[in-house]
Amino acid sequence: MRSIPKRVAGAVALAIALPFAATACGGGDSGGDSDTIVIGTKYDQPGLGLKQPDGTLTGFDVDVAKYVANELGYSEDQIEWKEAPSAQRETLIQNGQVDFIAATYSITDSRKEKVDFAGPYLITGQSLLVRADNNDITGAASLENNKKLCSVSGSTPAQRIKDEYPGVQLQQYDTYSACVEALKNGAVDALTTDEVILAGYAAQSPGTFKLVGDTFSEERYGIGLKKDDTELRNKINDAIEKMESSGAWKEAFDKNLGPAGIQAPQPPAVDRD
């Protein structure tokens, strides 16, 4: 892609897999990949990033990513999506397997040692999801009473439980959808992650789950990109600001997260430091 370091591995794979297609298009530079942008997102989080049976992706993160890509000069059909599970995000960026990631990705100091972030473009907080008929889980502290809690490896909510509630029996899965199944079938008693994610799962199975307690952290979602690529970071920040000020941000929020009962907040100010 233009003005962004090439994804060498991707270019080699493309050259091997599609020599005729690449030649036929005649497009791109010698790297062969300048016509597409690779974006990482979640595939299993309703309202944020969800792969539909027909292969298309929907959700607020997906719409933010599409808007940003468009501002960078890439139309929707030039986007190559890549699944970005929580624990793999830094590696996908560092290895150049994606150009950027929009995947409920909290900006944190420890992640900033490995990657850079544009944004934030959404602020939410950690919460708990339980089965609708549960009455004894009221907040994180009540989980220390021999409850099994599910969260995802490499996520900030899992880390916070380990740091602040070491008495809780935490089970770490690879994805939140696997935690939702475990919660449904009784293998765990609760699921913890960001409120917007949990609200999406609750809305997906009406009457099955409920959110409990107040949020107990601040999660600032950013777009992850290669460390020290200031040019790309500035361009993505410009795109986020334009999306927020034009009304497209609110429209995307209402469309994707409104059905889960979440009111659109004021869009956050982008951090230019």
* CB 84 to ligand GLU: min, Å: 9
Among 193, 201, 232, 243, binds ligand GLU (CB under 6 A): 193
Backbone angles phi, psi at 51, to 5 degrees: -85, 125
Query: Listing from the earlier edge strand, what are the strands of the sheet with 126-131?
Result: 169-173, 148-152, 190-194, 126-131, 209-212
Rg (CA), the chain: 19
Dist. CA 129–CA 46, nearest whole Å = 15
Residue 203: strand, helix, or coil: helix
What is the total count of residues that contact ligand GLU (CB under 6 A)?
A: 12
Min. distance of Cβ 209 from ligand GLU in angstroms?
A: 17
Residues pairing with 102 in the sheet? none
Who contacts 203 (Cβ-Cβ below 8 Å, separation ≥6)?
Answer: 46, 47, 259, 260, 261
Is 208 or 217 the residue whose CB approaches ligand GLU more closely?
217
Residue 157 touching ligand GLU (CB under 6 A): yes
**145 exposed, middle or buried (CB, 10 Å; 0-12, 13-18, 19+)?**
exposed
In the bound state with ligand GLU, the residue whose beta carbon lies nearer, of 126 and 237, is: 126
Provide, rounded to whole angstroms, the least separation between the CB of residue 62 and ligand GLU. Answer: 14
- The answer to whether 152 contacts ligand GLU (rule: CB under 6 A) is yes
Before 46, cis peptide (omega within 30)?
no
Q: Is 106 in the site for ligand GLU (CB under 6 A)?
A: yes
Residue nearer to ligand GLU on the CB measure, 220 or 233: 220
Q: Is 194 in the site for ligand GLU (CB under 6 A)?
A: yes
Chain positions 203 to 232 lying near ligand GLU, rule: CB under 6 A, are 219
Per CB under 6 A, contacts with ligand GLU among 86-105 are 86, 103-105
- Measured from the CB atom, the residue of 220 and 226 that comes closer to ligand GLU is 220
d(CA 34, CA 99) in angstroms, rounded, equals 12
Q: Is 127 in the site for ligand GLU (CB under 6 A)?
A: no
Considering the complex, what minimum distance in angstroms separates the CB of residue 87 from ligand GLU? 8
Residue 100 bridge partners (DSSP): 39, 225
**36 lines the binding site for ligand GLU (CB under 6 A):** no
Give the footprint of ligand GLU on this chain (CB under 6 A).
Answer: 86, 103-106, 152, 155-157, 193-194, 219
